[in-house]
Amino acid sequence: MPFRVAARTVVSHTPGFTVIGELDDGDAVAGAINGAAPDLVLMDIYMPNLDGIEATRQVTRAHPDITVFLCSTYPLDELPVGARDCGAAAYLQKEQLSPDALTRLWADRGLPGLTTL
């Protein structure tokens, strides 16, 4: 829960971004997205019931226009299996989340491969 609070604060203080919802369960993501239609999802890799990697696969398959940034504490070279090819546009270590990082990753989201800081 503390990361959700931090993420909400960062997103709220980043020009051009607005928080429209929060979830703490991977199973709830697909249904919530159908109703909210976000442009960007910050997806934690570790969530109960359905991890963020599989939730990202489901979101990007069903909504290819939605951008997903995976977030976690893993170093880039220790990402779990599937993180690099689940459809996420970027990976961001939680401690690096800032308005500048969010803005930069958003600008770089069309580049091929998994964008990181």
Q: How many CB atoms lie within 10 A of CB 85?
A: 10
Place of tokens 């690099």: 84
User: Where is 26: in which H helix or E strand?
Assistant: helix 26-36
Share of the chain above pLDDT 70, in %: 97
Tell me, yes or no, if the pTM score tops 0.85. Answer: yes
User: E strand or H helix at 7, and its extent?
Assistant: helix 2-12
Q: What are the structure tokens assigned to 35, written together?
A: 């109703």
Q: What is the pLDDT of residues 91-110, one digit of tens each?
A: 999 999 999 999 999 998 87
Give every CB contact of residue 35 below 8 A, 6+ residues apart in sequence: none
Q: How many domains does the chain have?
A: 1
- CATH number for the domain that contains residue 6: 3.40.50.2300
Rounded to 5 degrees, φ, ψ at 108 are -95, 5
Domain that holds residue 94: 2-116
Collapsing DSSP to helix, strand or coil, 55 comes out as: helix
